[in-house]
Amino acid sequence: MKTLKIGVCGVGNVGGAVLENLANSPDIVEENGGVRIEIIQVGARKGKSVVPYDLDVVTDLMEVARNPKIDVLVELIGGCDLAKDLIEEAIKNGKHIVTANKALIATHGDELFELAKENKVQIGFEASVAGGTPVIKALREGLVANKVNWFAGILNGTTNFILSKMSENQSSFKDALKEAQDLGLAEADPTMDIDGTDAAQKASILSALAFNTLYDFNSVSYEGIENVSPEDIVYAEQLEYSVKHIAYGSIVDGEVNVSAFPTFVPKGQLLSQVGQQMNALEIFCEEIGSTVYYGPGAGPKPTASAVIADLVDLSNGGWPVSDKKRNKNNFAKEDNQNFGRYFNLNVINQAGAIAKLSSVFADSQISIEALIQKETKTNNKENIYVPVVIISGPLTEIEAIQLKNNLELMEETSDSVKQFRIYNAI
């Protein structure tokens, strides 16, 4: 049987799960994958005490990167500083890389892949997007014969859990977040999940694979779920939508847009049914239409599953590499993704207010697809503000913000106007 000799750097939750799988059940990989994976060395900054196996543990991670007995360095320390140095050192020492580090790939991917190419090694990063669900494999191998037109994905488990709980139990955002933290599904500091950064990083990785863009997280426009209120979720249900945080990538006339925003997904769509902390990715190809991949998007065991799948792939020749690549400077200068929109605003209860509101849409030649105005239950109904919800026709992000501004400028509206996207095939 083939043997693959690896070094593992980082023994946190994911690193621990990788060691556990390979140490306790080597037979599964040997039987399914036809390769014996030998852990030659472990890099753990806290030392041997945190590694419950009889392995060679070193505290200087660079020692692993330079170890001549190792074929592959598995980087599971996270972050962009030490991880980058470590990977570069390992590549220069002729080692393949397997990593779960989405922030690093999304930010320094091109640089690292270039270096890998020069040194004739490969970098596996299946674990960086959607954890145990093999979406990168599907995208670059399963769908290799196709031109991808767009993808839409629920790529952050924490926010999906929060939105699902807000919908199922009418929880507040705060309570749902606390529940996620109590269950270990959200970090103590969940900022990167909540504000959309994590999903945007993953979207930029998918974009590079789907559209051959640069790995450029800065080209992704995104927003988090902080502004989704229980009220929005109730309206969504009434209008037969689920509220999800959806990362979108699309190519139109050779121009790529990548974005990640809270989005109303029609109940008939598979993505609307993805609950709990689960992830799902829909990939639409010109010739064959949509395929959808659903599964656990994070957590030690699913992430370890993806890391080990990459190792088996490496033992088996690695992944397609092409010299003939299309133009990489294909990010759109201007946003060209069109979505229907949900607007939530407060309008004064007086004659002509709704007519004026409608005319703001009409003036910009934007259609109103649905409108909900609830009856006011107070006695004195004159001149108080009532909530109004409008579903509009398709608008780009810029047009939607323009319309939102125009609505906020109306005398008849109070506070700020909220708007979210509506899922559609781009």
Which are the catalytic amino acids? 202
Q: Nearest-CA neighbor of 313 among 75, 125, 110? A: 125
Q: How far is CA 235 from CA 186, 222, 228, 413, in A?
A: 26, 23, 11, 19
Q: Which residues pair with 58 in a beta bridge?
A: 43
Measure the CA–CA gap between 362 and 130, rounded to whole angstroms.
41
User: Given the complex with its own copies, which of 194 and 285 has the nearer CB atom?
Assistant: 285
Residue 399 beta carbon to its own copies: minimum distance, rounded to whole angstroms:
32
- Nearest in space to 364 (alpha carbons), one of 395, 341, 335, 340: 395
Query: Strand pairing partners for 284?
Result: 150, 290
What is the dihedral angle through the alpha carbons of 112, 115, 117, 121, rounded to the nearest 10 degrees? -80
Nearest to 341 by CA among 318, 359, 367: 367
Could you count the other beta carbons within 10 Å of the beta carbon of residue 386? 18
Chain centroid, CA 409 distance in Å: 34
Kindly tell me which of 68 and 317 has the beta carbon lying closer to its own copies.
Answer: 317
Per-residue CA distances from 323 to 45, 108, 120, 140 (Å): 38, 20, 13, 15
Nearer CB in complex with its own copies: 219/279: 279
> What is the nearest approach in angstroms of its own copies to the Cβ of residue 236?
18
Q: Which is nearer to its own copies, 229 or 291 (CB)?
A: 291
Tell the smallest beta-carbon distance from residue 12 to its own copies (Å). 18
In the bound state with its own copies, the residue whose beta carbon lies nearer, of 262 and 296, is 296
> Could you write out the DSSP letters of every residue in 332-364?
-SS----EEEEEEEEEE-STTHHHHHHHHHHHT
Closest CA to 341 of 318, 364, 325: 364
Identify residue 135 by its one-letter amino acid code. Answer: V
Nearest approach in angstroms of CB 290 to its own copies is 7
Smallest distance, Å, CB 270 to its own copies?
6
Is residue 259 within 8 A of residue 397, CB to CB? The reply is yes
In the complex, the residues that contact its own copies under the rule CB under 8 A are 1, 21, 25, 27-35, 126, 132-134, 137-138, 140-147, 212, 268, 270, 273-274, 285, 287-296, 299, 301-302, 304-306, 308-309, 312-313, 316-326
Nearest distance from C-beta of residue 367 to its own copies, angstroms: 27
In the complex with its own copies, the residue whose CB is nearer, 1 or 351, is 1
Looking at the Cβ atoms of 173 and 293, the one nearer to its own copies is: 293
As a whole number of Å, the end-to-end CA separation of the chain is 47
Nearest-angstrom CA–CA distance, 280 and 229: 23
* CB of 325 or CB of 333, closer to its own copies: 325
Per the listing, tokens 């990788």 go with 18
CB 337 within 8 Å of CB 263: no
CB 408 within 8 A of CB 343: no
For the CA atoms of 5, 8, 13, 18, the dihedral, rounded to the nearest 10 degrees, stands at 0
CB of 34 to its own copies, least distance (A): 4
Least distance in angstroms from the C-beta of 127 to its own copies:
11
